[in-house]
Structure 1
Amino acid sequence: MFGDADPVEWKGHAPQAYPVHGIDVSRYQGNIDWPTARAYGVSFAFIKATEGADHADSSFSSHWYGATLAGVPHGAYHFYYFCRSAEEQANWFIANVPKERGALPPVLDLEWNAGSRTCPYRPDSETVLSEVQTFLNIVGRHYDQQPIVYTTPDFWQHNQLWRLHGAQPWLRSVAAHPSERYPGEEWTFWQYSGTGLVPGVAGQVDLNTFAGSRRDWSAWVADQAL
């Protein structure tokens, strides 16, 4: 029931083959009509909470509250900043994201940010893995959940993210099934579009699907939610 401003002609496994879909949002989506979004098929949402060790998304609270009222399962995500320590960033996320019953696992967004004016630093893969593992360990212990790691094909490959422990993959692949971009890798969520059109959301929004049936989804939420 979603549209797309830049649709892809899928070959092989298309996202429509999966029954459970959702969105990820930040302040750029503005105000969201969450009941309408849910009515048109939004089964989950990941909401930007923090970035680095001193930036909080200005729409986090309103999105979090709106999704809660509408009954949309939701979790928070942190955009990693390579010029601050993992400990600082984990503590900043914890300070801004409530430990709330029913919340989905915390998400760490890992991607190179070539356009950053303040942090063009690209550490080597061993440093990335060590720091990311520290973040996941701290946040996972605090929320007593197995975190989710969102990433892109280039970041995944360059940093060998399959070597991480205690994280569930959320993989971006907007022109092909994840099996083509991440061969042999199991995934929990797949981001298949960055140009989605969803009733209740003004403008474009990222679209995602869960790797399983509706029954699998219900079981996963029962097992993973706080």
Structure 2
Amino acid sequence: MFWNSYPLIRYTLAFTAGIILYTQTSLPFIALVLTGFVTLSLYLYFHFLGKQLSWLSGPAGLVTVGIVGWLFTAQADDSTRPDYLVHLPGPVEGYRAVLSSAVETKSNTFRVTAQVEQVRIHSRWMPARGNVLLFIDRNVPHKPAYGDELLVRKAPERVEPPHNPNEFNYQQYLKYQGIAYQQYLHVGEFVRLSKRPPSRLVQLALQVNDPRRPY
């Protein structure tokens, strides 16, 4: 058969299907783990012992790879972790974050993603995680850059779902990028603390792309 000649394509499609399944459904974690264990056991049995039903090892293997894709995506999803912004025990008074993407210059703002590291709740700082899409006023004294650590003096806002049936789902679009919050910052609402690039490799790439900018 056609698919038998291209095992890499089969398993890539199965892995991708697992990723899509995670983003489009809310299946229980334990159910996927148990299903993955069962299908992996069936794959090993039919592949090595069940000679008469060896053809079943193919479907069992594909299901196993699909579940691995689901689990891989779940592991990378910060929203399931207890220190994610949504699950915090109180209103956020401020937060510390590091700019984790290239800065885009718009007509009135600088657009950049910030990776939250700490939040202030009830006058106490605690670890947290989550990404915030920032729109920083272009009137700030210095243009923000990748790796800038910011102290923001107000809470981020949840991205709202569409209000009309045919409206573009901006919330879902940002969710695929791991972003659930956004915020507009004006002069005086944040302070630049230091420079801590999340990735030296990304910093080098940005320097090569725009050598005039001091990253």
| TM-score bracket for the superposition, by shorter chain length | under 0.3
TM-score (norm 2): 0.21
**More helix per residue:** 2
Work out which structure has the larger RCO, using CA pairs closer than 8 Å and 6 or more positions apart in sequence. 1
State the structure with more CA Rg.
Answer: 2
TM-score (norm 1): 0.21
